[in-house]
Amino acid sequence: MVAFQPFPIVFALLGVFNWQATAPENTVIVFASCARQDKPALAWGAMAAMKPQLSVLLGDNIYGDTVDMEVLKAKYSLLSKVSGFKALREACPMMAVWDDHDYGVNDGGASYPQREASRKILLDFFGEPQSSLRRTQSGGIFTSRIFGPDGRRIQVILLDTRYERSALKKAPGGPSAGYLPDSTSAAVMLAESQWKWLEGELKQPAEIRLIGSSIQVVSEDHRFEKWANMPLERERLFKTIRASGASGVIVMSGDRHLGDISSMDAGLGFPLIDITASGINQASQAYRQAEPNRHRIAGMPWGNHFGAVRVSWSTNDPLVSLELRDETGDLVVSHRVPLSALRPKSKMAEANNVKLAEGEITPAVAREMVGKKVIVRFRVESTGKAKDGSRFFLNSQKDFRSPENLTVVVEMAKLSDGLKAKGLKDVQADFEGKVVRVSGMLTLFRDSPQIILDSAGDISLEP
């Protein structure tokens, strides 16, 4: 039997770190994923050298890939002996969750037969107290902690995207073809118990919330694992954040063996930013082109690296810096955002607060359903028309060029009489700023999603 010694991580009661009473003027949190335990990993030491207040491991912390728990323990034991890793765990508190390889099987989910044994091994390794709910709670090893005084509180929420995740929908063409979006109700990312827990956690008081997801939330164009493989679950995540009224939300993700910073309008009233740090020692060492990602605002497509969130509290509007650093600690990519930009704007929040009826979806979900008939409800943020007036366009975004936009095409030759019968005489004036319900086939025009209305009966204004 292989034995290893867990290292102590002590948290105060009620999920709040036993942190210094006054937060430092500059808070540093480092995070990373994807580390083979049997390969050199300079990034561990570079993370420790940042002198962070916290480190977060987002999964693939080892490459276990086994149903033999003695093999899994042996691989954790190798990690415990890596000097840089030891330095990091001694430098600051550490929070950790799993992804597929340390869970036990590539792209694995609820069907993995050793998930309970793997849970125990991971929690033992990271020194989780025997009394911790993570050892017995249904739905996996999700957890949350808050640290810092009032006005400078940072909440770290780690989701478990493995324990109850249903099977993915495979694309035709074999394993290399990847996965397709599954918009059925059978597609499950998180257990119901985890959803309920998340709702409560998002209502806890905090100025900044870092949501750790082992897989990417915002990126949706590549063929590999991502939240966009389950559009209804991703929309539920957005809806849960929106309904909670939470602000300061930033996603930290891993899995992809590359670095990415992405941003999208998820209907929160502020941009949802997802920073991916995935390559402690598993990123490509040779230059390669970045994989498709319509939401990318910065990226690091090659080279081992880790991520950092730095918060400067010294100004009236704290500055949040999202960083990707190479394995020596040098800054490669940075995106800075004032904390005020991560708070809902009342007008924007109101514009996106559209209640859906049974069977209706948002434009964000509809974009994943090309070739299918959908029922979409949204607020018309802008309108346009063809030069000859033969077509009018109703857009879900103010900027119709936005990759988030869904366009409804109104063919006047077909729909004019029907619209007039409804009392709608001026398409632009009658629809702009209003909530509409539209049914039709979702198609693409120059890679942009659209619905071309077949009849006036396919569109209605919210009463």
Q: Is 279 inside a domain boundary?
A: yes
320 in the same domain as 390: no
pLDDT (0 to 100) of residue 23:
61
Tell me: pLDDT of 401 over 80: yes
63 in the same domain as 184: yes
Q: Is 213 inside a domain boundary?
A: yes
Tell me: pLDDT of 5 over 80: no
At residue 22 the predicted structure's pLDDT band, cuts being 50, 70 and 90, is low
Q: Look up residue 271 and give its two tokens.
A: 């941009």
What are the backbone dihedrals phi and psi of residue 180, each rounded to the nearest 5 degrees, phi first? Answer: -115, 155
424 in the same domain as 295: no
pLDDT (0 to 100) of residue 463:
65
Q: Which of 287, 313, 346 is the last residue of a domain?
A: 346
Mean pLDDT of 381-397: 91
Q: Is 351 inside a domain boundary?
A: no
- The pTM of this model reads 0.80
At residue 67 the predicted structure's pLDDT band, cuts being 50, 70 and 90, is very high
CATH code: domain of residue 411 = 2.40.50.140
Q: Is 354 inside a domain boundary?
A: no
134 in the same domain as 264: yes
The boundaries of the domain holding residue 246 are 13-346
178 or 446, higher pLDDT:
178
Q: Is 102 inside a domain boundary?
A: yes
Mean pLDDT of 102-117: 98
Helix (H) or strand (E) holding 274: strand 272-277
Q: Please give the Cα distance from 311 to 304 (Å, whole number).
A: 24
214 in the same domain as 181: yes
CATH code: domain of residue 264 = 3.60.21.70
Least confident of 144-148, 273-277, 422-426, 452-456: 422-426
At residue 220 the predicted structure's pLDDT band, cuts being 50, 70 and 90, is very high
SS3 content of the chain, % helix, strand, coil (to 5): 25, 25, 50
What would the pLDDT profile of 182-209 be if each residue is shown by its tens digit? 999 999 999 999 999 999 999 999 999 9
4 or 217, higher pLDDT:
217
pLDDT (0 to 100) of residue 239:
94
Q: Please give the Cα distance from 167 to 57 (Å, whole number).
A: 24
Tell me: pLDDT of 11 over 70: no
What would the pLDDT profile of 322-355 be if each residue is shown by its tens digit? 999 999 999 999 999 999 999 987 434 344 567 7
CB 415 within 8 A of CB 456: yes
Nearest alpha carbon to residue 41 among 327, 332, 331, 329: 327
- Give me the chain's average pLDDT, please: 91
Helix (H) or strand (E) holding 237: helix 231-244
CA distances, 259 to each of 275, 302, 308 (Å): 8, 8, 12
Q: Report CA 411 to chain centroid distance, whole Å.
A: 37
315 in the same domain as 372: no
Tell me: pLDDT of 216 over 90: yes
Query: Which residues are registered as beta bridge partners of 208?
Result: 154
Least confident of 117-131, 345-359, 437-451: 345-359
At residue 273 the predicted structure's pLDDT band, cuts being 50, 70 and 90, is very high
At residue 164 the predicted structure's pLDDT band, cuts being 50, 70 and 90, is very high
Tell me: pLDDT of 423 over 90: no
251 in the same domain as 390: no
Q: Please give the Cα distance from 383 to 430 (Å, whole number).
A: 10
229 in the same domain as 322: yes
Q: Is 151 inside a domain boundary?
A: yes
pLDDT (0 to 100) of residue 358:
79
Q: How many domains does the chain have?
A: 2
324 in the same domain as 220: yes
Least confident of 161-175, 243-257, 334-348: 334-348
Q: What percent of the chain has pLDDT over 70?
A: 93
297 in the same domain as 180: yes
What would the pLDDT profile of 83-108 be if each residue is shown by its tens digit? 999 999 999 999 999 999 999 999 99
Q: Which of 346, 380, 413 is the last residue of a domain?
A: 346
Question: Which of helix, strand or coil describes residue 360?
Answer: coil
Q: What percent of the chain has pLDDT over 90?
A: 75
417 in the same domain as 332: no
Q: Is 1 inside a domain boundary?
A: no
Mean pLDDT of 304-324: 96
Q: Which of 309, 325, 346 is the last residue of a domain?
A: 346
Q: Is 420 inside a domain boundary?
A: yes
Q: Please give the Cα distance from 79 to 281 (Å, whole number).
A: 13
